[in-house]
Amino acid sequence: MSDTVIHATDADFDSAVLQSREPVLVDFWAQWCGPCRMIAPALDQLAAEYAGKAKVVKVDIDQNRDTAIKYHVRSIPMLLLFKDGQVQATQIGAVGKAQLSQMIDKAL
């Protein structure tokens, strides 16, 4: 697990994501989700590559139900790209690193 990926909770989601100066890619995931585990290495790499320009935040939907409900997370992995506290892009399902990179680049 990368030390550049931030793990947010219901309690600190606003400060970690909505109040961020940089764009934030949020991964709604769960421990039991195979595709979520599959994209984790790509997210770790993106967090390192975009350090200082954008953030990667993971939210465990089993432990942070309020945030998952607020953003209508029905299937995982679900990735939301936030900029200035607003959702800019949504990706449902496991995708490659290049697609996630494009999502972030559009917000920079």
pLDDT tens column, 22-53: 999 999 999 999 999 999 999 999 999 999 99
Q: Could you confirm whether domain 6-94 is CATH 3.55.50.30?
A: no
Beta strand residue intervals within the chain, DSSP E:
6-8, 24-29, 55-60, 78-83, 86-92
CB 80 within 8 A of CB 71: yes
**What residue type is assigned to position 46 of the chain?**
L
pLDDT tens column, 50-103: 999 999 999 999 999 999 999 999 999 999 999 999 999 999 999 999 999 999
The one catalytic residue among 17, 36, 59, 68: 36
Catalytic status, residue 75: no
Catalytic status, residue 36: yes
Sequential DSSP letters for 78-106? EEEEEETTEEEEEEES---HHHHHHHHHH
Q: Structure pTM?
A: 0.96
The one catalytic residue among 8, 17, 24, 33: 33
Nearest to 40 by CA among 79, 83, 82: 79
